[in-house]
Amino acid sequence: MATSVLDPAAMVPTAGRASGTPAGTAAVAEDPYKNRYLIAIAVTLAAVLELVDTSIVNVAIPHMMGTLGATLDEIAWVSTSYIIANVIVIPMSSWLSAYFGRRRYLTGSIMIFVIASFFCGAATTLWGLVFWRVIQGLGGGALLSTAQTTLFEAFPPHERGIGQSIFGIGVMVGPTLGPTLGGYIVDAYAWPWIFYINVPLGIFAGYLVWTYVRNAAHQVRATTVDVWGIVLLATTVGSLQWMLERGERFDWFESRFVLALAIISATSAVLLVWRELTVKEPIIDFRILKSRQLAPGVTFAAFLGLALYGSVFVLPVFLQSLHGYTASQTGMVILPGALASAFTMAIVGRNASKVDARPLIVFGAFMFLASMYMLSKLTLDAGQGEFFWPLILRGVGLGCLFVPLTNATVAGLPMRQIGQGTGLFNLMRQLGGSLGIAIMATSLSRLTKLEKATLTDHVGTYDPMTVERITMMTRGMMARGADAVVAKQQALQVLDRQISAQASVLAFSRLYLISGLLLVSALPLLLIWRTGRSYGIKTEIPH
């Protein structure tokens, strides 16, 4: 078994290269990468559908509650069940792809996703919908890591950045499209159509995958099934995700239930690592984390998910709760930044093999920090145009980050281990995102209360400016027909709302800065890398 840098010519048998022979002509003429863009469209479309369905349901929750007769606590399972099923499958996707064959596994996962989407839309009960969301999440889990791994083989080494940039555009734009598309569909049609729309698009993606994607040439099918590994993985990731999704609702570790989930997750994680390091054919190969590229890269991916998903969660809440934007209007505000990210990724992807990833990542992280700083300075009077440049900067920063980080993280891994590498990368980014949303949701509530208490201390009964303001508002209420007592109560209520709104602005300001600083704080991890180049992926060619 010899190891060499992937070269299309090396894949052609020596006997077939003799000049002047028909076999030689056929071998030279055949391009192993000729369908790479069709493959990229197919797997990226599948990944976008998976990502959109993570967030698209959020805007339809009030409509679902009315139709299904569910409480807010119950309807939350529509989102939670999908995400839990999703993150369980992501790290298993490399093993499953090798076991079933990439072509069958990816096509089958898309079809499972499509069928489950149809039955989600047709569901007439809450728990029927939750059941099909679990099935949908299990099918969707393959559509990130397997798609990304497929693109590494579909493109030649010097064009891998292009393949990853196409995938990255989908990853970045997908979560942005979710609420906007969901809001439009719910307003124009009905909530079941947020699921029905997956059916024709999924069938199209499945057809392209079945037609053009081939099984991985470098994966070895496992001869045994690591049942205990699967059980421990599901327990570890499922409990952790459940804790992150529901922690804020139950006041975190004040709840015995949340504490139990944390203990179960931690214990299962230790047993999982021990199991996977001792079994011959593990479901997750943790040994590859010995790579000086992979271990820092997947850790950085967790920080990226934390900062990205945290800021993605905070901004729509800021726009809708304080500025009164609808979901569609919020999407239009965010869209230019997503397009800037796509444009930047396209440029970075074309040149990814020519430049060192580390300066680009550093530049992208500080651009992200700059955008968060600009957002932290916005007030209640900020107009839609004032969000434009901060979000453009964020888009450019993320565009400079994603492709170089992904490529350099798996650089140097044998091609047969790329699936495991991208699986761990996507898992850590997803878990980091869940942690980011949990931190932001908790911090938003607590910081708002803290800021309101501080502001209230400065707005005392004996403060001359406060007394004058209350007096003016009271007179205004009386001019509208209210008596003196009612007018003063209304004036105090207005003042309380103003203080609450200002406290929220200050809380959001802190959260934006926290998001930016978290990402920048991960930059020292790049010092561990052996290289910032992304063309070091190797393949094993049997003799």
pLDDT the model gives residue 466: 66
pLDDT the model gives residue 132: 92
CATH dotted code for 285-543? 1.20.1250.20
Summarize pLDDT for 479-492 with one digit per residue, the tens: 776 666 666 676 66
Summarize pLDDT for 301-352 with one digit per residue, the tens: 999 888 887 777 777 777 777 777 776 677 778 778 888 888 888 888 777 7
CA angle 118, 146, 425 (to 5 degrees): 115
When the pLDDT of each residue in the chain is averaged and rounded to a whole number, the result is: 78
Measuring CA to CA, how many Å separate 443 from each of 148, 206, 371, 377, 536? 33, 41, 20, 18, 41
Range 436-464 average pLDDT: 74
Inter-axis angle of helices 102-122 and 36-55, nearest 10? 30
For the whole prediction, is pTM greater than 0.85? no
Tell me how long the chain is.
Answer: 543
pLDDT the model gives residue 12: 40
Contact at 8 Å (CB) between 409 and 293? yes
pLDDT the model gives residue 90: 83
Contacts of 458 (CB under 8 A, 6+ apart): none
pLDDT the model gives residue 521: 93
Give the span between the Cα atoms of 344 and 399, in whole angstroms: 5
DSSP state of 189: S
Give the span between the Cα atoms of 381 and 269, in whole angstroms: 48
Does the pLDDT value for residue 28 go beyond 50?
no
Q: Read off the tokens for 407.
A: 């490529």
DSSP state of 4: E
- Kindly give the residue spans of alpha helices, DSSP state H, lying in 410-483: 418-458, 464-479
Give the span between the Cα atoms of 16 and 24, in whole angstroms: 5
Topology of the domain comprising 33-223: Growth Hormone; Chain: A; (1.20.1250)
**CATH 1.20.1250.20 boundaries in the chain:** 33-223, 285-543
Around 202, how many Cα atoms within 13 Å sit in the side-chain half-sphere? 27
Measuring CA to CA, how many Å separate 56 from each of 218, 253, 331? 36, 30, 12
455-464, long-range: CB < 8 A, 24+ apart: 455/499, 455/502, 455/503, 456/499, 459/495, 459/499
Give the span between the Cα atoms of 315 and 311, in whole angstroms: 6
Give the span between the Cα atoms of 433 and 86, in whole angstroms: 13
Cβ burial, residue 458 (10 Å; 0-12/13-18/19+): exposed
**Helix, strand, or coil here: 93?**
helix
Does the pLDDT value for residue 119 go beyond 90?
yes
Does the pLDDT value for residue 128 go beyond 50?
yes
**pLDDT-derived band at 135, boundaries 50, 70, 90:** very high
Does the pLDDT value for residue 261 go beyond 60?
yes
424 or 459: which leads in pLDDT: 424
Closest Cα partner for 37 from 173, 170, 155? Answer: 155
Contact at 8 Å (CB) between 266 and 211? no
25 or 359: which leads in pLDDT: 359
Contact at 8 Å (CB) between 155 and 6? no
pLDDT the model gives residue 91: 84
DSSP state of 414: B
